[in-house]
Amino acid sequence: MGVKSVFSGLWWVLKKFWGALDATRRVLFNLLILVVLIALVGGLLNHGPKPLQDKTTLVLNLHGPLVEQFSGSPRDTAVAQLQGTKQKQTRLRDVLATLDAAAKDPKIGSVLLDLDAFGGAGLAGLNEVAAALDRFKASGKPVLAYGDSYNQRGYFLAARANEIYLHPMGMVLIEGFGRYRTYYKDALDRLGVSANVLRVGAFKNAAEPYFANAPSPAALEAESYLYGDLWARYTASVEAARKLPKGSIAQGIEKLPEALAAVKGNTAKLAFQSKLVDGIKTRDEMRDLLMARGAKDDKGNSYRRISFDEYQAYLKPEASHGPAVGVVVAEGEIVDGDAAAGRIGGDSTARQIRQAREDESVKAVVLRVNSPGGSAFASEIVRRELELTKKAGKPVVISMGDVAASGGYWIAMSSDEVIADPATVTGSIGVFGMLPTADKLLDKLSIHTGGYTSTWLAGGFDPRRPLDPRMQATVQQGINHIYEEFTSKAAAARKKSVAEIDAVAQGRVWTGAQAKERGLIDRLGSFDDAVQSAAKLAKLEGQPRLNYIERELGRFERLLASLDEVLAPAIATSIGNALRAELGFSLPKAAQQLQGELAFAAELSEGKKPFGAVVHCLCMAP
C-alpha cells in the first residue's frame, strides 16, 4: 500500500468523523430550539393539571431502586440516555409525600400497589414506605396490591395492603437474608499478585476476600448476628401485617419442596394456600375488580386511575419562605473532592452543610445518611463541617437510612442527636488499606524493573516491586492512627471511654437496634422523627418547613434537567441515527465498556496521595 493510499484512507476517516460531528451539532441545535419552543408554548397553554374525579385510584407503580436522591448530574443522565443505559429510580421522599397527600385528597379513593418494576431498597427504607401505607389506610381508604409476582422486597410493602392479588402464573419468593462472597487469595497467588491488606479491627472484613479463601470465624459471627436480626424483623413485620402465625414464613421455606410438590408446582396456588395472597386473578379480572370497587374511566373500559408520576403534579410545593429545617442528603460512596448526587464528595457535601449554616432562614440541620463509607479524609471533612455548624448554634440531627456504616458512621459523629431505623446497617468502626504488588507476576512474564532512587520512600508505592517492610510498617502506623482518631471521636460524641467504644468497634457491623443497645446511636426512629427533633431543638413551632440543600446546577445542566422523558430519548435516538448515517455503523458495546473502564482508571489516577486509608464496610442493606 502506497503513502497516497494511506493518506486517502486517513482523509476518508477524518471526513466521515467531521461529518458525524457536524450532523450531531445540527441535531442538537435543532432539538434544543424545539425544547425552548415547547417550553414556551407549554407555559402559555398550561393551566395546571386536570382536576381529578371522585373515586380515582392512585397506582403506586414504583420503578427501579428506592433512593434518597437521584444519582448523577443532569449531564450524566443525558449521556446515559444517549447510551441507552439510564436506569429508573424512585426517590423515597416523593413516595412518602405522595401517600400522605393522597390520604388527605378526597378525590383519591384507594391505592393500588404495582411493584413488578420495583428495584427494592434496604429494610430501613421499606419501613418508611410501609409506615406511609399504614397512614394512608388509617384515613379509611383501602390499599390493594396486584403483581405478576412478588420478590422479597416488593412483598414487604404488599403485605401492608388490605388485599393482595397474584397472577395465576406468578409466585411469592421470600428467600431470607445473607450473602456469599468470592475469595481470590489462591487466584492471586497463582498470578503472582500480593494484596498486602493492612487493617485495624478483628471484624473489619471488607478486604478479606483478597487475603483469605473463606470467611473468617469473626466474619461469620458478625454476619450471622446482623442478618439474623434483620431476618427476624422482616418476618415479624410481614407476619404481623398478614396476621400469620409467628414463625410461619421460616417454616414455609423449610417445607417448600414438599409443599410445592403437593400443589404440583403451582406457585400461585401455594401462595394462596399459605395466606400470602388473598386471591389469584388475571390482569383483566383485576381490572374488573377495580372498576367495580371504584369507578370506570371516561372510556368505560378500565378503572379511573392516576399513576405515581402523574400525581406529582398535584402535590403542593413546599413554602419557600420562613424558618426551615435544612436537609442535606449524604448518599453513596464517600470520595475526596466534589461529587455528583448519588455520591458523597468531601468538598461538595461540606459546602452544602456550610451553605445551610450560613443561611439565616435555616434554623437546624438534618443530615440524612445512606452510605457504606469510603475515604477517611473526605469523611473527616464532612464531620468537621457539622461540628462547625453545631458551634455556630444550629442544632444538627443525624437521620440514618438503610446504611450508615464505617465512613457513613464517621460523618454522623458531630451532632446533637443520632436517630436510626431498627434495621439500619451501621457501626463498622474500623480502617483498612490495600497496597497490591505484582512483582511475582512480572517475574513469571520475564519482565524486570530496575533503577535508582535517592531514598527508599521514593519508590515505596511502586506496584511492580515487592512491598518494602518499612513501607508496610509506615502505612500500618497511619492506619492505626486513623483508627485511634475514629474511636476517640466516637467516644467523645457518645460520651463514652475509648475502651468502651473499642469493645463495640473493631470493624463490626450492627443493626440500628443493636447499635442502640450499645450506645452507638441515641434512639430509634424515622426521618420525620429526626426532622421533628431538629425543629424542637431549634424551638420552631408547628410543622417545620423543609429546605433541601442540594448542589446548584449550571446553565447547561439546568437545560438538560428540563428535558423530560420524551425529549431525552428523542435526542438520543436522533444523535444515534446521525452517527450511523455518517459512519455507517454505531459504537459497539465493547467500546462503551472500554470507555467506562478508562473513566474508572482516570478517576483512580486523580488521587493526590499514593495511598489513602479507607473507612468502608463494603456492605449493603439486604
Active site residue 489: no
**Nearest residue to 315 (alpha-carbon basis) of 136, 140, 103, 143:** 103
Residue 408 backbone dihedrals phi, psi, to 5 degrees: -65, -30
Per-residue buried b or exposed e for 338-356, using 16+ beta carbons within 10 Å of the residue's own CB: ebbbbbbbbbbbbbbbebb
Q: At what angle do helices 469-494 and 376-391 cross, to 10 degrees?
A: 30
Which of 73, 149, 237, 406 is catalytic? The answer is: 406
C-alpha 496/C-alpha 490 separation (Å) is 8
Q: Write the single-letter amino acid at 72.
A: G
Neighbours of 29 (CB within 10 A): 10
Question: Hey, which residues does 546 pair with through a beta bridge?
Answer: 325
Which of 86, 204, 281, 496 is catalytic? The answer is: 204
Active site residue 406: yes
Per-residue buried b or exposed e for 94-115, using 16+ beta carbons within 10 Å of the residue's own CB: bbbbbbbbbbebeebbbbbbbb
**Residue 286 corresponds to which cell in the numbers above?**
383485576
Cβ-in-10-Å burial (0-12, 13-18, 19+) of 548 comes to: middle
**Nearest residue to 372 (alpha-carbon basis) of 217, 204, 228:** 204
* Secondary structure letter of residue 149 according to DSSP: -
| Contact of 416 with 595, CB cutoff 8 Å | no
**Nearest residue to 436 (alpha-carbon basis) of 191, 202, 608:** 191
**How far out from the chain centre does Cα 372 lie?**
10
Indicate which residues carry an active-site annotation.
Answer: 204, 406
